[in-house]
Amino acid sequence: MGLNISLDRMKYLKQYFKDRPLTDVELEMIAQTWSEHCFHNVFKGDVLTDDGRLIHSILKTYIMRATRELNKEWCISVFEDNAGIVDFDNGYAIAAKVETHNHPSAVEPFGGAATGVGGVIRDILGVWGEPVALTDVLCFGPLDIKYEDLPPGVKHPRYIYRGVVAGIGSYGNNMGIPTVSGAIFFDKGYTGNVVVYCGCIGILPKDSYVRNTCEGDFAVLAGGRTGRDGIHGVTFASVELTEESEELRSAVQIPNPIVEERLRRAIIQIRDERLASGITDLGGGGLSCAAGEMAYRSGLGVDIDLDRVLLKTPDMAPWEIWVSESQERMLLSVPEKNLMRVIEIFNEEDVEASVVGRFVETGRVRVFAKGRTVCDLDLKFLFNPPKVTRKARLPKPAHSEVNLDEPRDLGEELLKLLSEPNIRSKEDVIRTYDHEVRGCTVIKPVYGDEAGPSDAAVIKPLKDSWKGIAISCGINPFYPDPYWMVANSIEEAVRNNVAVGGRRIALLDNFVWGSPENEDNMGMLLKAVEACYDFSKALDAPFISGKDSLYNESPLGAVRPTLLITGIGIISDVRKVVTPSFKEEDNPIYMLGLTKEELRGSAYLRHKGVDGGEVPRVDGVISKRIIDTLIRVIDEQLVLSCHDLSEGGLGVAAAEMVVASKNLGAEIHLRKVLSGTRRSDFILFSESASRFLVEVDRSRYKRFEEFFSGLPFSKIGRVVKGAGLRIIDLNSRVSELSSREIKKAWRGY
Amino acid sequence: MKIRAEVRLKPGHFDPEGDVTAKSLRELGFPVDAVKVGKVYVLDVKVNSKEEALRLTEEMCRKLLANPVKDDYTIEVLNT
Amino acid sequence: MKIRAEVRLKPGHFDPEGDVTAKSLRELGFPVDAVKVGKVYVLDVKVNSKEEALRLTEEMCRKLLANPVKDDYTIEVLNT
Amino acid sequence: MDAGKFRAIVLRTGGTNCDLETKIALEEMGVKTEIVHMNKIESKSLLDYHLIVFPGGFSYGDYVRAGAVWGKRVFTRLREQLEKFIDEGRLMLGICNGFQVLVEAGVLPGDGIGETPLVALATNSSAKYECRWVWLRVENNRTPFTLAMEKGEVLKIPIGHAEGRFLTDEKTLEKLKEGSQIVFKYVLPNGEDANGLYPYNPNGSLYDIAGICNRNGNIMGMMPHPERAFFGWQLPEWGEAPPERGDGRKVFESVIEYLENNIS
Ligand SMILES: Nc1ncnc2c1ncn2[C@@H]1O[C@H](COP(=O)(O)OP(=O)(O)O)[C@@H](O)[C@H]1O
Ligand SMILES: [Mg+2]
């Protein structure tokens, strides 16, 4: 197993250490710290484009710049710590983080996914947050792929799917943190590279966010013991998965959620008693990264004695202890006067903890084992590796016509789409996750008795406040244009959030990409981050945290480039949330936004096996105005139900609202839809952005229309008695679908 | 044909379930040092030859019942 | 002393996990009729006599490892 | 009406995770409530409390069998106090994992602390964790936990468990019926028997049993989570505004009513 340090950097190391040899511990530490996973070389390095531009750090130039320019006073900590932190209410703040755990899940689906959840929970604990909700977004290969079509070393998607879903559920359920939001996709582009996103949202009193490690503070390592499991996880994260990956046994991490459950209790207690001066999780790179980072960001140095680390197996080499990625561990810095009480709290919760070192003024990281110094490195040197320059070839937009006959029966087409794996209800998975534990879930991931779709989950995290947190996501991996794919994903995350009444939305970006050594991948990545900047600005929604996972390659090639946008919004009063079920007969149904002939990559064309046309584009100005106005009419309580339009367009959105409703349905006139296309099927299935379906109180529709004057909107139908969906197409042909049929297609029962 | 497949964590992997079980047994007063927990599957395989049954079960273990990265498995025929 | 205790559902009891496993195996094309799932505990019991070890393990099964409403168990000594 | 004189203890151990919302429900009713870890139990006298709650969660990771480890440990360690507590007719409530604990400890449905369990809460017939709202019919409204309900009333309360399939032998089932020990049954939304129909009977429980009590009625265990259906806004859907309260609240209201009538 290699260290995965590039040749250039090896040369640099040789030069730097020409006077003495590097120890194995030092070399390992350098490899960990400089790994893509820990250091984000690509996002922090230089990019040279084929049109001659040199960009210093795409992270700073695009993602962080948007946040800086938006300059929101409610952003408390962004891009710095383990999680992003924004203001909430009553002196409390929200912490949010999303991670990927793709490689481990490909090798050991259950353990990989479970430890993904465990890891992101520790990121929240690592900013003193009490975890209150989890999210998961998963992308698999098609479940019906043939065994014979899989190259050696690639596990069947069905096996991965079963394991990943069970792993996610197991960890969250065991920890008693509700899993409230997520998505599942199936596509050939994920057969060799499963994608597992795990997110966690936490709550903390603002004044308990302490990051003040001082000279003389003790380094306390707590939680699970350190073992051989998970050695080289981070360097492993940036190698291509091949048949040999099976041999990378030591990278397998075994989840132990009850240890983390106890750890959480202890840490929240230590937080509430204000006993520690700093905290961080042990994730990639294990103790080496955690201790180094903590010292470096405090402007200090650290001395660590490996003999004091509690081990699972006694015969570990110093370098193994130093970089082990055993799960369920946290590192705290504790002032001497509080040490006894901290240890006592750990004891009370049955958590093992030991003092492994001390923070010192040296600016160096020194590691001792069996009385010998095994590592002595300058932290400035360690955290400033030579920059990496990547080349990017920008994608050329391809144009082609859509070649597809208009179908005879729109209703039949809609039913087919509703039962498509990417669109149909994920209820069978969602219900294996406890989404009610903690008793604070207001909008659940399945809505109401009919298990309809929810646009976003809403939780009420504080006992004494009616304020809620709306958690949404946006992800459109199927639009074959990285810029517009990202634009749509950002807008979708915002749309979903606003649809339930969310506002003041903060975003998290999580990239899953193929190798950055491939210039086309880099070109696509560049377009993607450009869109991040443009639409974060346009929609007034800053990024607060994120992560990139590059090098997702397998014998089947690169992963489908995928960006997950998570939206964290605020609900002013959870009793006023908006839901997707129709409320009363004869209320008008409005569509907000314009419907264009934008079907490239749409669920409809993919289902038909057709590629062509235009991908949906987002007009940031119109989008922002529609969204702002929608929030105002929600606050005026003019909106009785609302659903955002995304995959499958108007047809699927309307059908989903019918699913959510009990004895009500809808009548929709395609003629009344504001659109630039003359085909009924295109109107019904276009995936143009910035659109919502809204049911409005019929006695107050005039007021609603006043709000939207000057913006694209139209009354396209009404709520009807009796469950079902009636679509009247451009030629006045009527398609009638009963609610039974729709539910059967979408839910499967 | 009844086949018995037993799947257990490979040596060297830490077994949280075994750990909890051992601790509980000790607390109940039993002199137990360590416990490893595994799963047994008794499979009714519809083939006629023992060899074929073993071969198939081996494949089932590799593909579904065990993860070769972390699990060992043993297979035996129970009767004919 | 290493003892192996196997805990399995009593005959005639519905085994949801076994059913799901059987179904998955059939989906993968294996000719499997029925599957029963159980747990194995490999216990390191700190006593010197085989008889004592068996007696204690029996008691562990009765007190913790099995629920007599639904579980049967078998015990064997693995080595000395 | 001063519930403040009543005291409840919510026990927890590693892996317990519904203690806080249970405490919030009890405190909302005015009961003085403490959450106490097993590691600190020795500093408390259980006889200082009117109600012990074993809350939901995954005690000890649900390893071996859900509730088995904690059940054995707690009733071995605190046997004397707990026996006294039960004999005095004080109240003990097990919710979800807490129900599993009481069953595995042999406390339910027996008359004391049994050697071996008489019932089991086995793996759900779907073989999966199930998180969903179910409808319960009140079969016995004379227990301290159901006083404030009507017999035959239907409550809507969520479940969240992987091991909740109630199992027992014929004889024990007959005894449970005779002794009116079946407190809640899973039913259809209209209150008719579920007869095992999924998902109304979400786990395949024998005789649709969702909750039982001991002969004396002072100990009850139930798989559904009343504390998650306590406030109206916790319900899965509502019209324009959430109702004041959820059906789960009635369990806690009953406890208060009982204590008020029986404790001076
Ligand atoms: N691609 C990215 N986009 C936005 N923020 C990022 C990205 N990569 C890293 N960050 C920010 O940098 C911070 C530190 O990242 P990282 O070192 O990966 O944290 P950790 O190791 O705790 O997961 C994170 O909180 C995150 O906000
Ligand atoms: Mg971290």
For residue A150, count CB atoms less than 10 angstroms from its CB and return exposed for 0-12, middle for 13-18, buried for 19 or more.
middle
CA distance D132 to D159: 6
Query: What pLDDT was estimated at residue D30?
Result: 94
* B20 in reach of chain C (CB within 8 A): no
Residue D169 pLDDT greater than 70, yes or no: yes
Structure tokens at D118: 């008489």
Longest dimension (CA), chain D: 52
Name the DSSP class of A249. G
Which residue has the least CA distance to atom 23 on ligand 1?
A: A82
Chain A residues with CB under 8 Å of D241 CB are: 575-576
Compute, in angstroms, the gap from residue D96 CA to the centroid of ligand 1.
38
CA contacts within 13 A on the Cβ side of A77:
22
Query: What pLDDT was estimated at residue B77?
Result: 93
Query: What pLDDT was estimated at residue A251?
Result: 64
* B77 in reach of chain C (CB within 8 A): no
Backbone angles phi and psi of D41, in degrees to 5: -65, -30
Contact D135, D188 (CB under 8 A): yes
Mean pLDDT by 10 residues, chain C (80 residues): 94 93 90 95 94 94 94 88
Residue A244 pLDDT greater than 80, yes or no: no
Residue A271 pLDDT greater than 90, yes or no: yes
- Model confidence band, residue A240 (pLDDT cutoffs 50, 70, 90): low
Contact C70, C18 (CB under 8 A): no
Find the catalytic residue in D50, D96, D104, D130: D96
First to last CA, chain C: 5
Q: Report CA torsion sign: A594, A600, A603, A605.
A: positive
Contact A582, A719 (CB under 8 A): yes
Show which subunits contact B, needing at least 3 CB pairs below 8 angstroms. Answer: A, C, D
What integer is the mean pLDDT of A512-536? Answer: 97
Residues 6 or more apart whose CB falls under 8 angstroms from that of A128 comprise: A204, A208, A209, A210, A267, A271, A279
Residue D192 pLDDT greater than 60, yes or no: yes
pTM for this predicted structure: 0.95
Helix (H) / strand (E) element for A132: namely: strand A130-140
Which residue has the least CA distance to atom 1 on ligand 1?
A: A547
Query: What pLDDT was estimated at residue A423?
Result: 97
Query: What pLDDT was estimated at residue A250?
Result: 55
CA distance A15 to A582: 70
Residue A2: how many CB atoms within 10 A of its CB? 9
| Ligand 1 pocket test target in A32, A44, A79 with most atoms within 8 Å of CB | A79
What integer is the mean pLDDT of D223-233? Answer: 98
pLDDT (tens digit, 9 = 90+) per residue, D154-164? Answer: 999 999 999 99
Q: Domain spans of chain A? A: 7-40+87-383, 579-749
Contact A155, A109 (CB under 8 A): yes
Is D68 in Cβ contact with C64 (below 8 Å)? yes
Query: What pLDDT was estimated at residue A235?
Result: 56
Query: What pLDDT was estimated at residue A6?
Result: 84
Pick the CATH number of A579-749 from 3.40.228.10, 3.30.300.130, 3.40.50.720, 3.90.650.10: 3.90.650.10
Q: What are the angstrom distances between the C-alpha of A531 and each of A40, A63, A313, A483?
A: 20, 9, 49, 5
Of A107, A159, A227, the CB nearest to B14: A227
* A143 in reach of chain C (CB within 8 A): no
- Can you give the residue range of the structural domain that contains B49? 2-79
pLDDT (tens digit, 9 = 90+) per residue, A613-640? Answer: 999 999 999 999 999 999 999 999 999 9
Structure tokens at D51: 């109600």
Query: What pLDDT was estimated at residue A246?
Result: 42
pLDDT (tens digit, 9 = 90+) per residue, A495-511? Answer: 999 999 999 999 999 99
Domain A7-40+87-383, architecture per CATH: Alpha-Beta Complex (3.90)
- What's the CATH code of the domain at C24? 3.30.1280.10
pLDDT (tens digit, 9 = 90+) per residue, A690-740? Answer: 999 999 999 999 999 999 999 999 999 999 998 799 999 999 999 999 999
What integer is the mean pLDDT of A448-456? Answer: 94
Contact D96, C46 (CB under 8 A): no
CA distance A345 to A348: 5
For chain D, the domain total comes to: 1
Is A176 in Cβ contact with D236 (below 8 Å)? no
What integer is the mean pLDDT of A448-465? Answer: 95
What integer is the mean pLDDT of D54-79? Answer: 93
Structure tokens at A324: 């082990």
What mean pLDDT is reported for chain D? 95
pLDDT (tens digit, 9 = 90+) per residue, D105-134? Answer: 999 998 777 778 999 999 999 999 999 999
Is D139 considered catalytic here? Answer: no
Structure tokens at A470: 């709306």
Residue B68 pLDDT greater than 50, yes or no: yes
pLDDT (tens digit, 9 = 90+) per residue, A220-235? Answer: 999 999 988 777 655 5
- D182-187/D130-138 β-pairing: antiparallel
Contact D39, A348 (CB under 8 A): yes
Secondary structure (3-state) at A149: helix
pLDDT (tens digit, 9 = 90+) per residue, B20-66? Answer: 999 999 999 999 999 999 999 999 999 989 999 999 999 999 888 99
What mean pLDDT is reported for chain A? 94
Cα Rg, chain C, nearest whole Å: 16
Dihedral angle, C-alpha B64, B67, B73, B75, nearest 10 °: 20
Q: Quick one: which ligand is closest to A99's CA?
A: 1
For residue A675, count CB atoms less than 10 angstroms from its CB and return exposed for 0-12, middle for 13-18, buried for 19 or more.
buried
Residue D2 pLDDT greater than 90, yes or no: no
Query: What pLDDT was estimated at residue A245?
Result: 46
Residues 6 or more apart whose CB falls under 8 angstroms from that of A220 comprise: A276, A331, A332, A333, A334, A339, A342, A343, A353, A354, A355, A356
Residue D263 pLDDT greater than 60, yes or no: yes
Q: What are the angstrom distances between the C-alpha of A58 and each of A8, A487, A511, A531, C67?
A: 21, 17, 13, 12, 59
pLDDT (tens digit, 9 = 90+) per residue, A406-445? Answer: 999 999 999 999 999 999 999 999 999 999 999 999 999 9
| Residue in B closest to C7 by C-alpha | B40
- Listed in order, strand segments (DSSP E) in A550-583 are 553-554, 557-558, 562-571
Query: What pLDDT was estimated at residue B80?
Result: 53
ipTM, 2 dp: 0.93
- Can you give the residue range of the structural domain that contains D151? 3-262
**For ligand 1, which residues put their CB under 6 angstroms from it?**
A 40, 43, 59, 63, 79, 81-84, 123, 283-284, 509, 511, 543, 545-548
Structure tokens at A673: 């839809």
- Model confidence band, residue A331 (pLDDT cutoffs 50, 70, 90): very high
Which residues have C-beta under 5 Å from ligand 2, the single-atom ion?
A 82, 123, 281, 283
Structure tokens at A565: 């946008």
Complete DSSP assignment for A185-243: EE-GGGSSS-EEEEEEEEEEEGGG------TT-EEEEEESPB-STTTTHHHHTTS---G
For chain C, the domain total comes to: 1
Query: What pLDDT was estimated at residue A233?
Result: 59
Query: What pLDDT was estimated at residue A238?
Result: 54
Least Cα distance to A110 among A256, A245, A224 occurs for A256
- Model confidence band, residue D258 (pLDDT cutoffs 50, 70, 90): very high
Give the number of the atom of ligand 1 that is nearest the alpha carbon of residue A38.
17
Contact A280, A297 (CB under 8 A): no
- A588-592/A713-721 β-pairing: antiparallel
SS (H, E, C) chain D: CCHHHCEEEEEECCCECCHHHHHHHHHHCCCEEEEEEHHHHHHCCHHHCCEEEECCECHHHHCCCCCHHHHHHHHHHCHHHHHHHHHCCCEEEEECHHHHHHHHCCCCCCCCCCCCCCEEEEECCCCCCEEEEEEEEECCCCCCCCCCCCCCCEEEEEEEECEEEEEECHHHHHHHHHCCCEEEEEECCCCCECCCCCCCCCCCCHHHEEEEECCCCCEEEECCCHHHHCEHHHCCCCCCCCCCECCCHHHHHHHHHHHHHHCC
Q: What is the layout of strands, in order, in the sheet containing A588-592?
A: A639-644, A692-696, A588-592, A713-721, A664-669, A724-728, A734-738
* C36 in reach of chain B (CB within 8 A): yes
pLDDT (tens digit, 9 = 90+) per residue, A60-112? Answer: 999 999 999 999 999 999 999 999 999 999 999 999 999 999 999 998 999 99
Which residue has the least CA distance to atom 6 on ligand 1?
A: A546
Secondary structure (3-state) at A702: helix
Query: What pLDDT was estimated at residue D114?
Result: 79
Percentage of chain D beyond pLDDT 90 is 91
Query: In angstroms, what separates the C-alpha of D89 from chain B's closest C-alpha?
Result: 27
